[in-house]
């Protein structure tokens, strides 16, 4: 019945969409715009209706009074029966007991039913009677809908994250429905559902605060493009669009960060000391000449001396305006002083206001004067400031004095014009704030754009006018509208979604910002995010034990103190839904080595498959790895496999495995992806570094050379912890070096052919 209702809705929406698209668009520009908006709205609605196909209905609540509520991915109403609710959206307040009711606190619920479907067929039904007699064994922290949950967790992974609406647990629900305002930090170990919770919270907030968030948009920040790809399907399938998914590297419109940077240089650039360095770098561009400068202007000699420039510079700086905006004050002051100098020489008492204005006008239009003043206070773009700073040892040393050592400066130097790295993006944004808008350039750009629109509009009118068999009785286009008017109308017509407008505008401020793997962000990256969200309505999820970036965080209060002091809420997730207990007990050893106080999350299931280690012959690494991959493929059927390697081995292992797979006629042919910068999650087997695998999960994981992973970075143990916790079922560790002590609990295998499950 519910699917039939869904089909009707799809048909109706599709018909409306087609009707709107088919409309003749003769009409006012306003009507065109409305047509565009209506078409986009219907298209969005259609996507939403299509996306809920799988698992449309998943739960039922039977209440004490006899009322039944059916819960699903969206709300469906019976239009013949006074819009009675047939299916309730999981985010509606009345659906909440489905996630929170327990035997001890039943919230009026007598029975909760989980319905599992595949396509449109019911596969299983699990009923839980919330009866006090069962409350003692199933305490309030027990799992909700255990059978459905275990079924969801044991499913093969597809390379894309799926939603968890049918099996959200109580501790997760509390976070998902937490109020929108303020900063909420969700701390949780690996696999506790932080990403899932962050995305479902976004969907919940969009449902509950639709109006505000539709206008301002929501920004979701992830650690890398692979991760964004991994989560990209979850939100639309929850029925939401209008959300910007981005990495920090994409937050400065117009700049693409393509240059790789070493982690240690990225850490230097991410340090909060950069704030002072950047501000010094801007001030260093506001020059005072060592020697007086003499200029010839219309037979008069004008002298620019130190005190004159120092005064003008002082005034401009005291305005506290950004550099490019303060330039107007500097120029005004300089021109006044120079005018007075000329006037004094001519005899100031002989001159009136108009004469002085004439002198000033002459000075300001003189090329030599202009270029000299421009050198003393150059107009700077953020790109130019940074390019010239990081390619000049002298400039960098001056700006960095007392902040960075000589060696650190040397490490940050680079050749001019070699592109931008991800660590440069927060610096560009910082520079933009310090420099402000170059108002003259902005005005010029606007004028140019407007002129181009008019030329285009004139072209359109000319073409319309070329029609040969024109009836002189009929009005022509040019009789009704001229190019200027047409250009204005075109401007009004442009329709962009909130997400499109937000992504293209550096100064856009979002209604809510979600940061995943928040522990990875540098101090400078936090500044760019806080600027994008002045209301500080934010959800930050992460795990300080998984921090891999050298400039990343060790504690949440350290990150947040500069922005909200102690005004933030902390929620913790404690149950691991991903990694089986056998593997978590090994990972827990690593967690203790990182910090003895750290408690790894509790796994909810065992698989009976012990994780293993295998020492292999360095001469035959790739053949052995290929065999192990083939073995894992046989074990996981159509599941996913990751080979996690130290950064230094990525290219080598990736290519070798890919070509091994090409040659192999049997199991692994065509299943291994060669490593790219984003990793290819569509292949069955992917070779990745730990950094690339952050936030992802696979049915089986082979960790290669753990000792090298640990040695590669100051936070190497954290990386190993991340690597071990990416698996949902199977784990093998392959090494030629010694095994780190923490991994001594692994079952030791001696050869390849012996199967890991033995």
Q: Is 168 in the site for ligand ATP (CB under 6 A)?
A: yes
Q: Residue from 9, 52, 88, 153 that binds ligand ATP (CB under 6 A)?
A: 153
Q: How many CA atoms lie within 13 A of 345 on its CB side?
A: 11
Q: Is 194 annotated as a binding residue?
A: yes
Q: Residue from 69, 194, 327, 749 that binds ligand ATP (CB under 6 A)?
A: 194
Give the residue with the Cβ less far from ligand ATP, 169 or 539. Answer: 169
- Cα dihedral 406, 553, 738, 655 in deg (nearest 10): -80
Q: Is 152 in the site for ligand ATP (CB under 6 A)?
A: yes
Q: Is 188 annotated as a binding residue?
A: yes
CB distance 613 to 748 below 8 Å: yes
C-alpha distances out from residue 524 to 52, 507, 552, 561, 644, Å: 39, 17, 10, 14, 29
Within positions 390 to 429, which residues make up the interface with ligand ATP, using CB under 6 A? none
CB distance 550 to 264 below 8 Å: yes
Q: Is 695 in the site for ligand ATP (CB under 6 A)?
A: yes
Tokens found for residue 540? 């930050």
Give the residue with the Cβ less far from ligand ATP, 163 or 660. Answer: 163
Q: Residue from 178, 195, 589, 727 that binds ligand ATP (CB under 6 A)?
A: 195
Report the candidate in 626, 641, 629 with the shortest Cα–Cα distance to residue 698.
Answer: 641
Q: Which residue has the tokens 């006899």?
A: 66
Q: In angstroms, what is the minimal distance from the CB of 646 to ligand ATP?
A: 19
Q: Is 59 in the site for ligand ATP (CB under 6 A)?
A: no
Q: Residue from 169, 519, 683, 692 that binds ligand ATP (CB under 6 A)?
A: 169
Q: Residue from 72, 190, 675, 691 that binds ligand ATP (CB under 6 A)?
A: 190
C-alpha distances out from residue 345 to 18, 341, 360, Å: 78, 6, 14
Q: Is 149 in the site for ligand ATP (CB under 6 A)?
A: yes
Q: Residue from 543, 582, 699, 712 that binds ligand ATP (CB under 6 A)?
A: 543
> 27: left (phi > 0), else alpha (psi -120 to 50), else beta?
left
Q: In angstroms, what is the minimal distance from the CB of 263 to ligand ATP?
A: 20
Q: Is 192 annotated as a binding residue?
A: yes
Q: Is 577 in the site for ligand ATP (CB under 6 A)?
A: yes
Q: Is 603 in the site for ligand ATP (CB under 6 A)?
A: no
Q: How far apart are CA 610 and CA 757, in angstroms?
A: 7
Give the residue with the Cβ less far from ligand ATP, 231 or 668. Answer: 231
Task: State the DSSP H helix or E strand holding residue 323, giving kind and residue range, or none if neither.
Answer: helix 323-346
Q: Is 756 annotated as a binding residue?
A: no
Report the candidate in 488, 387, 380 with the shortest Cα–Cα distance to residue 440.
Answer: 380
Q: In angstroms, what is the minimal distance from the CB of 643 to ligand ATP?
A: 18
Report the candidate in 174, 219, 89, 295 with the shortest Cα–Cα distance to residue 511.
Answer: 219
Q: How far apart are CA 83 and CA 101, in angstroms?
A: 27
Q: In angstroms, what is the minimal distance from the CB of 582 to ligand ATP?
A: 17
What phi and psi values does residue 243 have, to the nearest 5 degrees?
Answer: -120, 135
Give the residue with the Cβ less far from ligand ATP, 193 or 610. Answer: 193
Q: Is 633 in the site for ligand ATP (CB under 6 A)?
A: no
Q: How far apart are CA 85 and CA 124, in angstroms?
A: 24
Q: Is 647 annotated as a binding residue?
A: no
Q: Residue from 175, 196, 245, 720 that binds ligand ATP (CB under 6 A)?
A: 196
Give the residue with the Cβ less far from ligand ATP, 165 or 399. Answer: 165
Q: Is 164 in the site for ligand ATP (CB under 6 A)?
A: yes
Q: Is 172 in the site for ligand ATP (CB under 6 A)?
A: yes
Q: Are strands 698-704 and 641-645 parallel, antiparallel or unpaired?
A: parallel
Residues of each annotated binding site for ATP: 188-195
Site residues (CB under 6 A) for ligand ATP?
149, 152-153, 164, 167-169, 172, 188, 190-196, 543, 546, 577-578, 695, 697, 725
């Amino acid at each position: 019945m519910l699917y039939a209702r869904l089909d009707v809705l799809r048909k109706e929406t599709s018909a409306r969409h087609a009707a709107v698209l088919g409309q003749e668009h003769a009409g006012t520009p306003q009507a065109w715009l409305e047509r565009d908006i209506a078409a986009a709205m219907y298209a969005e609605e259609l996507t939403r209706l299509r996306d809920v196909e799988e698992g449309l209905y998943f739960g039922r609540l039977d209440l004490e009074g006899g009322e039944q509520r059916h819960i699903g991915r969206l709300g469906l109403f019976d239009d013949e029966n006074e819009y009675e609710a047939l299916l309730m959206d999981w985010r509606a307040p009345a659906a909440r007991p489905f996630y929170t009711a327990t035997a001890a606190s039943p919230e009026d619920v007598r029975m909760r039913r989980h319905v599992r479907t595949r396509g449109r067929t019911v596969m299983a039904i699990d009923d839980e009677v919330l009866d006090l007699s069962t409350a003692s064994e199933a305490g309030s922290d027990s799992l909700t809908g255990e059978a459905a949950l275990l079924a969801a967790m044991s499913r093969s992974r597809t390379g894309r994250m799926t939603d968890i609406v049918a099996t959200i647990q109580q501790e997760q629900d509390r976070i998902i429905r937490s109020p929108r305002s303020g900063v909420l930090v969700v701390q949780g170990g690996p696999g506790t559902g932080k990403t899932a919770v962050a995305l479902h919270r976004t969907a919940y907030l969009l449902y509950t605060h639709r109006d505000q968030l539709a206008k301002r948009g929501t920004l979701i920040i992830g650690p890398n493009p692979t991760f964004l790809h991994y989560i990209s399907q979850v939100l639309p399938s929850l029925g939401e669009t209008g959300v910007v998914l981005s990495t920090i590297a994409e937050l400065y419109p117009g700049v693409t960060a393509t240059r790789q940077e070493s982690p240690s240089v990225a850490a230097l650039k991410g340090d909060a000391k950069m704030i002072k360095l950047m501000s010094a770098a801007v001030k260093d561009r506001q020059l005072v000449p060592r020697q007086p400068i003499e200029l010839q202007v219309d037979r008069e000699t004008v002298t620019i001396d130190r005190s004159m420039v120092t005064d003008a510079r002082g005034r401009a700086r005291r305005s506290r305006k950004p550099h490019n905006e303060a330039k107007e004050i500097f120029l005004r002051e300089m021109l006044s002083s120079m005018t007075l100098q000329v006037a004094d020489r001519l005899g100031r008492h002989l001159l009136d206001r108009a004469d002085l204005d004439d002198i000033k006008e002459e000075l300001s239009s003189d090329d030599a004067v202009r270029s000299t003043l421009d050198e003393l206070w150059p107009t700077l773009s953020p790109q130019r400031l940074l390019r010239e700073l990081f390619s000049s040892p002298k400039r960098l040393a001056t700006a960095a004095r007392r902040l960075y050592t000589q060696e650190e400066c040397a490490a940050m130097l680079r050749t001019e014009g070699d592109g931008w790295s991800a660590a440069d993006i927060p610096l560009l944004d910082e520079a933009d704030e310090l420099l402000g808008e170059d108002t003259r350039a902005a005005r010029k750009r606007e004028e140019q754009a407007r002129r181009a629109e008019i030329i285009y509009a004139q072209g359109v009118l000319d073409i319309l006018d070329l029609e040969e068999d024109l009836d002189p009785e009929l009005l022509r286009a040019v009789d009704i509208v001229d190019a200027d008017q047409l250009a204005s109308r075109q401007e009004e017509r442009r329709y962009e979604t909130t997400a499109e407008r937000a992504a293209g505008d550096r100064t856009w401020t979002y209604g809510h910002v979600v940061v995943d793997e928040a522990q990875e962000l540098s101090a400078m990256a936090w500044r760019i995010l806080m600027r994008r969200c002045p209301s500080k309505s934010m959800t930050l999820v992460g795990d300080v034990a998984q921090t891999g970036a050298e400039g990343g965080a060790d504690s949440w209060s350290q990150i947040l103190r500069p922005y909200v002091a102690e005004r933030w809420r902390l929620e913790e997730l404690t149950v691991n839904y991903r990694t089986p207990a056998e593997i978590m007990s090994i990972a827990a050893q690593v967690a203790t080595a990182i910090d003895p106080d750290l408690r790894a999350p509790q796994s909810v299931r065992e698989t009976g498959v012990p994780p293993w280690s295998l020492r292999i012959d360095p001469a035959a690494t790739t053949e052995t790895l290929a065999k192990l991959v083939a073995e894992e493929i046989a074990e996981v059927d159509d599941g996913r496999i990751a080979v996690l390697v130290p950064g230094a081995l990525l290219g080598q292992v990736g290519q070798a495995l890919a070509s091994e797979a090409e040659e192999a006629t049997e199991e692994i042919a065509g299943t291994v992806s060669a490593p790219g910068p984003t990793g290819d999650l569509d292949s069955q087997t992917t070779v990745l570094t730990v950094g690339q695998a952050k936030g992802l999960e696979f049915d089986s994981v082979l960790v290669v050379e753990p000792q090298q992973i640990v040695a590669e970075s100051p936070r190497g143990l954290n990386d190993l912890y991340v690597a071990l916790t990416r698996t949902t079922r199977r784990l093998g560790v392959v090494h030629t070096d010694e095994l780190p002590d923490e991994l001594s609990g692994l079952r030791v295998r001696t050869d390849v052919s012996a199967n890991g499950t033995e």
